[in-house]
Amino acid sequence: MNLNMSSAESLVAQIQGLSGNLADLTQLRNYLKQSDDSLHLESTRLAPLLNELDPSLHSLGYLYILEACTSGPIAKEQANEFVLLVSRFMNVCAAEHIRLASDKFISLCKRFKDQVMLLEDPMRGVAPMLAALRKLQTSTEQLTTLHPDFLLLCLLSKCYKTGLSILGDDIFEIDQPRDLFLYCYYGGMICIGQKFRKALELLHNVVTAPMPIISAIAVEAYKKYILVSLIHLGQFSTSFPKYTSSAAQRNLKNFSQPYLELVNSYSTGKVSELEMCVQTNKDKFESDKNLGLVKQVVSSMYKRNIQRLTQTYLTLSLQDIANTVQLNSPKEAEMHVLQMIQEGEIYATINQKDGMVRFLEDPEQYKTCEMIERIDSSIQRIMMLSKKLSTMNEMMSCDPSYLGKVGRERQRFDFDDFDTVPSKFNI
């Protein structure tokens, strides 16, 4: 079918006519699906059609035509125009329309991301991608394929705050499992530096995600996970939680030898040993692009040691702190302690007259109304989580793959022969 002038007009007319309500849209979508191939054939002549359509009202038709006319290779000179056109569409398009053709929309956005990166201006892509993401999502609990691309753009353009706003949403639904890996990995990288706890959580998700075979993303995430865990928690346990896939449990450690050596030298508590270990493995850290994090690990060692002092001493002089923690001077010790107090990592007062530091208890008395509100909101959150968990548990119990296997794995003795504690309390 050749797309000549009259059929082009009829196409435009169809799009304009059928963009009103959902029933018409479904009809339009079927029509567009059929015409898709012919649209692609005539991609060079489709550009003027776009001018006759309003991207916010006729989003579905606009999407099909836009995708068809940009499906060919894009020359460098045209890249800018392309980016402008698509970003405008992404910003104004109607959510219900594009959800009917989500694959096309996703592929369009991915090409947009590629072009933006080729132009080496990732910042231009951040806002449109965020808008597109929100429109594609059916709820804030859903992870779309655009999430990792968005986070990548945020990372490259250093727009960390925008990235953090998306990361605050709890995810319960995932379109494609592989989106999760990249989303959590990029998310973890964005959070490093501002919110170590969230970074740890996201990287933990990558490492423990179900994977039939070992994934390269998981390997890289594991390396960063070790480093972030050392920085934030001061320790790292090499045992995996039981919900980690067996592929990960068997293989991850093999790929991260230098990092595990770092963990060992960290646990000695001596800065000199740690620095030696860093020196020996410097090249590997650098090639993994983790050298910056490794340096942070070293500086966190001082923090750990000072924190350990709070458990032994009530007051200590700055000189003694410097000696124990292997810092060069009391001045440096003062700087470290001051920074830790500011970040809320220890509670102490520095008496500058005689250079003594007095370590204090956590002043939180748990008798304020603000604390009540905090606990109350936590309880609400956990109630919601509990409901979701119970539904998932029930769904799992009905899952045929589970039911098939559980019959086979029955032990020789009946479950009731063991004196078991009831496994669930009903509140």
Partner 1 sequence: MASSSSSGLTFKLHPLVIVNISDHYTRVKSQSLPTQAAPNSADASSLPPAPPPRVFGCVIGVQRGRTVEIFNSFELLYDPSAHSLDRAFLEKKQELYKKVFPNFYILGWYSTGSDAQESDMVIHKALMDINESPVYVLLNPSINPAQKDLPITIYESELHVIDGIPQLIFVRSSYTIETVEAERISVDHVAHLKPSDGGSAATQWDIPCENSLLRQVSSLLRRLPAIESEKFQDDFLMEYNDTLLITYLAMFTNCTSTMNELVDKFNTAYDRHSRRGGRTAFI
User: Which residues are at the interface with partner 1 (CB under 8 A)?
Assistant: 210, 212, 242-243, 245-246, 365-369, 371-372, 375-376, 378-379, 382-383, 385-386, 389-390, 392-393, 396-397, 399, 401-402, 405-406, 409-411, 415, 418-421, 423-427
Nearest distance, CB of residue 205 and partner 1, angstroms: 14
Closer CB to partner 1, 22 or 392, in the complex: 392
Beta carbon nearer to partner 1, 5 or 427: 427
How far apart are CB 9 and partner 1 at their closest, in Å?
54
User: Cβ of residue 400: shortest distance to partner 1, in angstroms?
Assistant: 9
**Residue 402 Cβ, how far from partner 1 at the closest point, in Å?**
4
Given a contact cutoff of 8 angstroms between Cβ atoms, the answer to whether 42 and 65 are in contact is no
8 A C-beta contact, residue 109 and residue 146: yes
Least Å distance, CB 403 to partner 1, is 8
Q: Which residue type does 93 have?
A: C
Comparison of 59 and 208: residue with beta carbon closer to partner 1: 208
Q: Assess contact for 253 and 238: CB atoms under 8 A.
A: yes
- Residue 284 sits at φ, ψ, to 5 deg, of -65, -40
End-to-end CA distance of the chain: 66
At 287 the three-state DSSP class reads helix
Distances (CA, A) of 338 to 341, 343, 345: 5, 9, 10
Collapsing DSSP to helix, strand or coil, 173 comes out as strand
CB of 76 or CB of 424, closer to partner 1: 424
Measured from the Cβ of residue 79, the count of other Cβ atoms closer than 10 Å reads 15
Residue closer to partner 1 (CB basis): 287 or 426: 426
Q: Which of 7, 102, 104, 89 minimizes the C-alpha distance to 15?
A: 7
CA 325 centroid distance within chain = 35
CA-nearest of 148, 137, 209 to 173 is: 137
Nearer to partner 1, 96 or 376 (CB): 376
Phi, psi for residue 184 in degrees, rounded to 5? -70, -35
Q: Minimal distance in Å, beta carbon 249 to partner 1? A: 9
Residues 185/217, Cβ–Cβ less than 8 Å:
yes
CB of 371 to partner 1, least distance (A): 6
User: Is the Cβ of residue 276 or residue 383 nearer to partner 1 in the bound state?
Assistant: 383
CB of 222 to partner 1, least distance (A): 18
Check if the beta carbon of residue 98 is closer than 8 Å to that of residue 59: yes
With respect to partner 1, which residue has the nearer C-beta, 103 or 415?
415
CB atoms within 10 A of CB 102: 14
